Amino acid sequence: MDLIIPVSIIGGLGIIFGLGLAFASKKFEVKVDERVAKIREVLPGANCGACGQTGCDGFSEGIVAGKCSVSGCPIGGKQVAALIAQIIGADAGTMEEKTARVMCNGTDSSCANKFRYSGISDCTAAANLYGGPSACSYGCLGMGNCVTVCGFGAIVVENGVAKVIQEKCTSCGKCIKACPKKIIEMVPVCNEYSVSCKSLDKGNIVRINCSVGCIGCGKCTKVCTVNAIKLSGSLAEIIPELCMNCGECTKVCPTGSITRKNLSLCKKTGELK
């Protein structure tokens, strides 16, 4: 008898709680849309937040709720967009593939330093000190804030200038936010040429500071047959939508600030040229 009462009380409590919980979980059941879990599975799972949501979970919920577009995940690209479209039964739509590109060419040898910087190796910190050690106040500081934030190892610093490895770039846009100089831009993968300079200084000042900067001479605008280059102030800009990738501008550029990038990723290469 001494044994039965305690065992039955503890056992009884266990059974009561068990039944109570089973009942509560039925009574308070929260219906989760099964599509959310399915979409979550096909997403890359980097939780990078490039879609504008809190992460892959938020994005999957957003799609089911109709707040996000199926092609909203830049990392997954077309493949993932198609898979998601299959799950929710919508059209995948067209998605232009993009890549980040560092719009500066001023390597250690071509762009001088105005002072010797010995602070912590961080672009933002350096930029706060008289705009950074680089002679050009618009140029890359080469301390690699973008390298640090890139979750895909797609950026390297070579000779004092950051460089995007387009094969690895997923166009999540984190580097763009991390760059204090705002010299990283998102361009279509199929754009072969870009003006690798962001300096708004007058031509003569650019010439003094950097040997590969855009001096705003306007030669490229004249040679371009489709008017895809426009001169704003003393800086040439290529309009990606119009550019035909003919490469005439590179040939006439006196400083070599218009550079050619690898096009191997572009599936339209054949049609263009």
**Minimum CB separation from another protein for residue 30, in Å?**
5
Q: Does 121 bind another protein (CB under 8 A)?
A: no
Q: Which is nearer to another protein, 12 or 254 (CB)?
A: 12
* Region from 16-24, 85-93, 202-210, 217-225 binding another protein, contact rule CB under 8 A: 16-24
Q: Which is nearer to another protein, 6 or 153 (CB)?
A: 6
Tokens of 142: 């080469």
Q: Does 15 bind another protein (CB under 8 A)?
A: no
For the chain, the C-alpha Rg in angstroms (whole number) is 27
Q: Does 25 bind another protein (CB under 8 A)?
A: yes
Q: Which of residues 27-56 bind another protein (CB under 8 A)?
A: 28-30
- Residues with Cβ < 8 Å from 56, sequence gap 6 or more? 40, 43, 44, 45, 46, 47
Long-range contacts of 264-272 (CB under 8 A, 24+ apart): 264/167, 265/97, 265/99, 265/166, 265/167, 265/189, 266/97, 266/189, 266/190, 266/192, 268/190, 269/190, 272/190, 272/244, 272/245
* Region from 11-19, 34-42, 66-74, 260-268 binding another protein, contact rule CB under 8 A: 11-19
**Minimum CB separation from another protein for residue 18, in Å?**
8
Q: Does 20 bind another protein (CB under 8 A)?
A: yes
| Site for another protein, rule CB under 8 A | 5-6, 9-10, 13-14, 17, 20-21, 24-25, 28-30
